[in-house]
Amino acid sequence: MLRIFAPAIKYLVGLGFVSALVIAFLMPREAAVESATHEFHKHPREIHFSFNNPVIGKFDRRQLQRGFQVYKEVCSACHSAHLVAFRDLEEIGFTKPEVKAIATQWATETPSVNPDTGEAATRKSLPSDRIPTPYPNEVAARAANNNALPPDLSLMAKAREDGPAYIASLLSGYGPQPAELLAKFPDAKTPAGLHYNPYFANLNIAMPPPLVAEGQVTYSDGTKATVPQMAEDVAAFLEWTAEPKLETRRRTGIAVVIFLLIATGLAFGAYKNIWAGKKH
């Protein structure tokens, strides 16, 4: 009987030994990374956006247009915004001819079908089309990004805590690991293929720095395109893509509150008038 199970027992013992070595090897690094993350992780910067005020906050149309320019020239090479149609850009101040030109000149064409053969094809985008994704599928996206999948940015400002402040801080927060971190936690060194960013959850992010230098884009309104400025502009644009009806919602809310105040006053006045002079 022992001869029958002897090979299996050998394999199990060997597997247990290897597992113990792997756990012993990984645990110190995991503990170091966790400690480093707890100590060196930063909360988003305090940034004043024109839409921050929950009552009277509004979008700055010029900032949204600058943010769209940053998205178009930098971010759209990897990230999609598939919930946004080109014609939606009229809401941030672009004219119909400008929107048509933006759609026609977009780097990635819109998927279509050849009417003669029925085969898959592409065509120039129309204002009614949504912004096309830069990759044909997830496999191609991962292959082009070291197996990391660039997320869609349409709702990113609502999908992350602190929304646009987090996005702006993250985009402008890349840098070398602090010497203090490496001195205290040598095992927490940023792995190859990742990039140190103290605003990211575990300090190391797969996305390379997208905004690398001042003047990376040229703003038509003359605004100086510093890295923090570009980061804040694209963060504002992504707040708009996530909640394009923000201003309408706030106006509606104010109108409802005013109506309720007036209705409450009228109801109280009617109550006082009906019961005036009556004893309980």
pLDDT at 207 over 90: yes
Neighbours of 227 (CB within 10 A): 19
Closest CA to 42 of 203, 209, 217: 203
Most confident residue range from 34-43, 186-195, 210-219 = 210-219
The domain limits of the chain are 35-84+131-205+216-249
Q: In which band, very low, low, confident or very high, does the pLDDT at 4 lie, cut at 50, 70 and 90?
A: low
Q: Which amino acid is at 169?
A: S
- Estimate to the nearest angstrom the gap between the alpha carbon of 218 and the chain centroid: 23
Backbone angles phi, psi at 153, to 5 degrees: -100, 0
Distance CA 275, CA 280 (A): 9
What torsion, rounded to 10 degrees, do the Cα atoms 6, 12, 13, 18 define? 150
Sorted by sequence, the CB contacts under 8 Å of residue 204 that are 6+ apart come out as 190, 191, 194, 195, 196, 197
Q: How far is CA 72 from CA 66, 83, 129, in A?
A: 10, 15, 16
CA distances from 32 to 22, 145, 181, 194, 259 (A): 16, 27, 10, 17, 57
DSSP at 128: T
Look up the CATH number of domain 35-84+131-205+216-249. 1.10.760.10
What is the pLDDT, as a whole number, of residue 154? 97
Q: Tens of pLDDT along 220-272? A: 999 999 999 999 999 999 999 999 999 999 889 989 999 999 999 999 888 88
Task: Considering only residues 79 and 38, tell me which one the structure prediction assigns the higher pLDDT.
Answer: 79
Return the minimum-mean-pLDDT range out of 13-17, 70-74, 150-154, 258-262.
13-17
Determine the Cα–Cα distance for residues 203 and 270; give it in Å rounded to an integer: 62
Q: Report the amino acid identity of residue 191.
A: P
- Look at residue 25 and tell me whether its pLDDT is greater than 90: no
pLDDT in tens, 158-199: 999 999 999 999 999 999 999 999 898 888 899 998 999 999
